[in-house]
Amino acid sequence: MNRITIYSSEYNDEGGYDRLGWFDLDAAEHILEEDSRWDGQNMRGVISGMQINRAQLYRTSRGRWVENQDSRPEFNGPNTWRFLTDDEAREWMLKSGNREAEEALERWFPNTPEEAGPDPKGGRPAVGPTINVAYPRDLLDKIEAAAKEAGLSRAAWLRKVAEDAIA
């Protein structure tokens, strides 16, 4: 058994670290090594930023995600282990972005959409159909002042006034 104990990264009230749990590395499955990218001067890990070593992602025999960043060979730094949530593990795979990461995503998170990001059309989501209404300038100034006082956009204030009038 190769037991790895994981501690919190923050000091507790007693000046030490809280033990968060442990797992058997020999029983865990090695899922992925982070990919590296050129940063303009060096090849660096996309997760850890390390040059020499790469961060590793594991899944324990009980189904927990674990990240290891061993920076001892890099700059005589620490060898850190931390538990990840499912969302953090999925983001880890997405950020790594190599072929192995894509295969791991398909295996562990098959419902990950093909793409994500802002709507290509831009703008905010539609509330309803757009209508054009012309107001005299003095009335529009009063509407804008009332909307600002209410902490609403002009459109939201007009929707609220219309709903209140109909109700």
pTM for this predicted structure = 0.65
Domain count, the chain: 2
Lowest-confidence segment of 35-49, 70-84, 109-123 by average pLDDT: 109-123
Asked if residue 119 has pLDDT above 70, the reply is no
Asked if residue 74 has pLDDT above 80, the reply is no
Average pLDDT of span 7-32: 92
Average pLDDT of span 100-116: 87
Asked if residue 22 has pLDDT above 70, the reply is yes
User: What is the span of the domain harbouring residue 44?
Assistant: 3-108
| Identity at 89, one-letter amino acid code | A
State whether 19 and 94 are in the same domain.
Answer: yes
Tell me, what DSSP letter sits at residue 76?
S
Closest CA to 35 of 100, 81, 107: 100
List CB contacts of 60: < 8 A, sequence separation 6 or more. 23, 24, 27, 28, 66
| pLDDT bucket at 57, cuts 50 / 70 / 90 | very high
State whether 78 and 159 are in the same domain.
Answer: no
CB half-sphere exposure, 140, CA atoms < 13 A: 5
As a whole number, the mean pLDDT across the chain is 88
State whether 141 and 97 are in the same domain.
Answer: no
| pLDDT bucket at 27, cuts 50 / 70 / 90 | very high
Asked if residue 77 has pLDDT above 90, the reply is no
Question: Is the model more confident about 75 or about 103?
Answer: 103
Can you name the residues that pair with 5 across neighbouring β-strands? Answer: 22
Q: Are 29 and 90 a contacting pair, CB within 8 Å?
A: no
State whether 64 and 25 are in the same domain.
Answer: yes
Closest CA to 53 of 39, 71, 67, 66: 71
Burial of 88 (0-12, 13-18, 19+ CB in 10 A): middle
* In-domain check, residue 122: no
According to the model, what pLDDT value does residue 63 have?
95
List CB contacts of 146: < 8 A, sequence separation 6 or more. 157
